[in-house]
Amino acid sequence: MKHSATVQTQFLSVEEVRTIVSHLGVAQTLHRMADYIRADYVRWPDFDKCARVASHSKDGVIELMPIADASTYAFKYVNGHPRNHLVSLPTVMAFGVLAEVDTGIPLLLSELTLTTALRTAAMSAVAARVLARRNSKSMALIGNGAQSEFQALAFHHLLGIEEIRLFDIDRAATEKLVRNLGHTALRLVRCENTAAAVRGSDIVTTVTADKTNATILTPDMIEPGMHINGVGGDCPGKTELHPDVLRGATVFVQYEPQTRIEGDLQQLPTDFAVTELWQVLRHQAPGRTSEHQVTLFDSVGFALEDYSALRFMRDAAGELGLGQSVSLIPELADPKDLFSLIRPGIGALALAA
C-alpha cells in the first residue's frame, strides 16, 4: 500500500457539523443517519465488537467506545456527568475518530457531542420502526433535557408521531423543549407527572440523566401494545424502569454483553431472555409479533452507531466541501527517523543550539 509522506487528517468542528445539519435540515439529517445506522447493523457480523471501556467516578463516567470492520476503525471518547449543568457544562461531551485499519492513519477527527444526540435519536427511530405499532401517533417523553428535542423530532419525522406528552421534574426543562419545538407541527402536551404522560401513549421514551437506580416507569403504567424506548439507563447503577416492566415485555438490546452491565437489564438475572436488534433487522428474529405485545428497547448506546454517525458526517462534509486538514501525524523523510523532528539544528531548536 502506497501513501505520501504527508498525512493530513480531516477535522470537523462543532460549527461545521452545525452547518451540515443547517444545510440538510434536521429531518433529512436524521433520515440519512438512520439509514447509515441500519445499513451497518445489517452488516453486524462484519464488525469486531466489544463493550465500552468505562472509568467511573462519584460524579459521572468517562468512556471509550471502539469498533472496527476489515477496513475502518472507529472510537468515541464520551463522558456522562449529570451535575455538569450546575457549572454550565453539557452532561455529555464527545469526540471521535475514524482510522484506516491497514495503516492506522487517522482519517477523520470530529466533534461528537451534537452528533451523538442526533445518532441516539436516529437509533431510537431505527428500533421503533420494527418494534412499535405501525399506527403509532403519540409518544410520552419523560425527561426533557438536552436529548429530548432530538428524540421528539426523530419520532416525528421518521415514524409520524404527531403528539408528544411531556414530563420532567424540572418544569423549566419542559418549557425549554416547548420553546424549541414550538415551530413544528408537533402537538406538545405538558403533563403533571409520569403516569399522566404515559397514559394512552403508543410509545414511551425515558431519557433521564441522574446517575441513580431510579424507577421512572412502573408496571401499572404500561398498557398493551406500548413500545418503550428506555434511553436514560446507560451505566452501572443507573436505571429507569421497574424490573417488572422488563419482565412484562419482549426486550431488545444493541449488544447484549454491554447491556447486561449498563442497561435496565442489569436488574435481572443473566438468564433473562433478550434479542439483539441486528437479528431483527437481518430478519433472523421476530420484532413485534402482535398489536397487544409490549416491546422494550433497552438502549445504552453502542459503538457501531458512532461508527455510522462518523461515516455519515464524513460523507456529508465531503458533499458540502466542509472540513479542515490538521496535522496529527509527523511528516518524516525517513519513517524510521522520528528523532529528526527534534534533532538540534532543525526548526525552532536550531535557534537554541
For each of the domains in the chain, give its residue range(s) and CATH number, in order of start: 9-114+305-335 (3.30.1780.10), 124-302 (3.40.50.720)
- The burial class, CB within 10 Å (0-12 / 13-18 / 19+), for 205 is buried
Round to whole Å and give the CA distance between 52 and 55: 10
pLDDT in tens, the chain (353 residues): 455 456 889 999 999 999 999 999 999 999 999 999 999 999 999 999 999 999 999 888 999 999 999 999 999 999 989 899 899 999 899 999 999 999 999 999 999 999 999 999 999 999 999 999 999 999 999 999 999 999 999 999 999 999 999 999 999 999 999 999 999 999 999 999 999 999 999 999 999 977 788 899 999 999 999 999 999 988 888 899 999 999 999 999 999 999 999 999 999 999 999 999 999 999 999 999 999 999 999 999 999 999 999 999 999 999 999 999 999 999 889 999 999 999 997 655 444 44
Confirm if 28 and 325 have CB atoms less than 8 A apart: no
The backbone torsions φ and ψ at residue 173, rounded to the nearest 5 degrees and listed phi first, read -65, -40
Confirm if 78 and 65 have CB atoms less than 8 A apart: yes
Residue from 234, 264, 298, 306 carrying the catalytic annotation: 234
Do the strands 61-68 and 72-80 form a parallel or antiparallel pair, or are they unpaired? antiparallel
Query: Which residues, in sequence order, are CB contacts of 62 under 8 Å at separation 6+?
Result: 54, 55, 77, 78, 79
What would the grid cell of residue 146 be? 438536552
What would the grid cell of residue 19 be? 452547518
337 is catalytic: no
Return the number of other C-beta atoms located less than 10 Å from residue 182's C-beta. Answer: 9
- pTM of the full predicted structure? 0.94
Round to whole Å and give the CA distance between 311 and 74: 10
Q: Hey, which residues does 111 pair with through a beta bridge?
A: 95
Burial state string for 269-286 with b = 16 or more CB within 10 A and e = fewer than 16: eeeeebbbbbebbeeeee
